[in-house]
A and B are shown apart, each in its own frame.
Chain A
Amino acid sequence: MYKIFVAFVKKEFYHILRDRRTLIILFGIPIALVLIFGYTVTNEFKGASIAILDQAHDELSREYMLHLQASGHFEIVGNAYSYEEIEESFKSGEVKMTIVIPPDFGQDFYRGEKTKVQFLADASEPNYASTLINYASQMTRKFQMEKRGNQKRPFQINIESRMIYNPRLESAYNFIPGVVALILMLISAMMTSLTIAREKELGTMDLLLVSPLPPLIIILGKVTPYIILSFLNALMILAMGYFVFDVPIYGNVFLLMGLCILYLTTALALGVLISTKAPTQQAAMMGSLFSLMLPTMLLSGFLFPISSMPALLQAISTIIPATYFIEILKAIMLKGVGMEVIWFPTIILFLMTFFLLGVAWKNFEVVSK
C-alpha cells in the first residue's frame, strides 16, 4: 500500500511540476507579497503635500514654513490665496492639508499676544488627516519653543518609554507573520480544494474512486505535494523576512516548524472540506476566496486590529485559524517564548483540525458512496 501511495504522490507531483505557470504563481505570489508589504504597504508618511495660505508674509511666517518643510514630513506644494482655492486643491487631491497663517503673525507673537494658526485637512481620509494634524501640531509647538528659547519648567512628569519586542517600530515585524499565515492558507487550502474539485468536474474522480485505491489514500496523495510545497514556501518567506527585512526569530526554530505543519494541516483540512462540497472548480474557487482568503486577510488581526472591530466580527475572528497562528508566530519569532505561553492557541488549532477533518471525512464518505 505504501508503495502505491508513493507512486500516487509522485504522479501528482509531476502534474504540478509540469505546469510551469502554476509553479511560478505558487512561488511568485509569496515573493511578490513579501516585497510589496515590505517596501510599499506603510502608513507612515513622508513628504505629504501641503499648501500655505500666508496672510502675514513676515519673517516669522517664512521661518515657520521652513521649519515645517525641514522635517521632511511635509512638502509645500503651493500657496493658496483664498478658501475657494483651498477647496479646489482638496478636490483635485493635490493637497492634503492647508495651513492658514493669520495677518500680523510675527508681530503678535513677539509682542506676547496670542496668534492663531489654522490647520485645514482633507479628512475624506480620516487617519491620514489626523496624523497630519498631529505632526503639524507637534512641529508647531517645537517651533514655538525654539523661538522662545528652551526653558526647563519644574513640576514636570517625565515619561520614560520603552518599545519592547520591536524597538525600531519596523512594520515588517508585524506583516511577516501575517504573510506566512495568509500564504499557507492560500496554497494549502485553495490549491487542494481546486485539485479535487477539478477531478470531480472533469469526471476523473469517478475513475479514481472505482480504482482499487482506498479513498483516503487518494485524498492523502493529492494533498501531500501541496503540504511539501507550502512548507517550502513558509521557509522561503521566513528566510526573506530574516535576510531582507531583518525580522528576527528569537524562539525555537523547530517548534516554529512543527507548528507551521500543524497550521498547514488545518488549512488542508479546510481545503478538502470545501472540495467535498463544491461541484465545480469555479465554485471551489469562489468558496475558498470568500471563506478563506478574505477572512484570513481581514479578520485575523493581520491588517487591522481585532480589538477595534465590532463584537460580531471579533466573534468571527475567533473561528479563523490564522488568528491563532499569527499569535503563535509572533510569540515564537519576536518574543522568543515557547509552549508555556502559546499552549492555548496550539490546542485550539489541534481541535479545529480534528473537527474539520472529521466533517470532511464524513462528507467524503457520502460523496464516494
Chain B
Amino acid sequence: MTEIFGVPAQVLYGQLLLGLVNGSFYALLSLGLSVIFGLLNIVNFAHGTMYMLGAFLAYLLLMPLGLGYWWAIVLVPMLAAGLGIAIERTILHRIYRLDNIYGLLVTFALTMIIEGIVRVYFGVSGLRYPVPASLSGMIDLGFMRLPVYRMWVIFAALGLCLLTWVLIERTRLGATLRAGTENPRLVQAFGVNVPLLVTLVFGWGVGLAAFAGVLAAPLMQLTPQIGHSIIITVFGVVVIGGMGSILGSILTGLALGLIEGVTKVYYPEASSTVIFLVMILVLLMRPHGLFGKQ
C-alpha cells in the first residue's frame, strides 16, 4: 500500500475529501455571513442556528409529512428565508442605526430563543436523517472509494457559492447591491428600494445557511447544538479571509477545511484548534485578513 509521509494514502485521501466537505460548509456559511454583513452591517450570530434549523426542518418534512430529501432541499431554504425576512422586518430593521455590536447581541438573543424552542420539541439526543437512496453508495476510483453523497455535497455547495458570486458580481441586481453596500442613501436617491433589497439579502443569506443544514443533515447526528461550534469556526474563517470579498470567503473556507483534514491525519489532537491557530498567525502577520481591505 502506498504511504505518504508515513500515512496510508487512502487515509489521507479520505481525510482530504472530508476536509473538502467541511470546507464547502465553511464556504457556504462564511459567504452568507459576508453578504449579510456587507449590506446590513450585522454579524449574524444566529447563522449557525439557521444551519441547525435547516437540518431540523428537513427532518420535520420527512418524519410527519413524508416529504423526502429533494423536497427538503428546495423547500427548507425557502422556509428559512421566509423566517429570516420576518425577523429582519420585525426586529433587525430597528437596530441599523446603532453600533454594530448590537447586531451581534440581537442575533445572539435570537440564537438562544430559536435553539431553546428546538430543544423543547426535540430534546438533546441525536436524530438520524437517512442518506437519500439516489445518492447512496460508493464510486470505486481504484486508489480510493468515494461516497457519492459527499461528492454531491461538495458539488451542490460550491455550485450555490458560484451562483451567489455570479448574482452579485455579474448581474445588474448585484451591481445595485454592491452600490447599496457602498452608499445606501445615494442608491435610494436613484429610486432603488434599498430596504427591500436589505430584506431580500438577509433572506438569501439565511437561505444559504439553511441549505447547508439540509446538505449536512445526512452526515451527522442531529442535535440542537450542531450550530454551536461551526459558527465560531466560521467566524475564524471570516477573520482570516476578511469579509470584503466573495471569492475570498469561498477560497478561505475551502482551504481551511483542507488544512483541518490534513491536520486530522498527521496530528489529530490539533484538528479542532488548527483553524484558530491559523487565525492567530494571520492576525499577527496581516491584521486585516488575507482578502480584507485596509
Q: Are A and B bound to each other?
A: no
State the B residues within 8 Å of A (CB): none
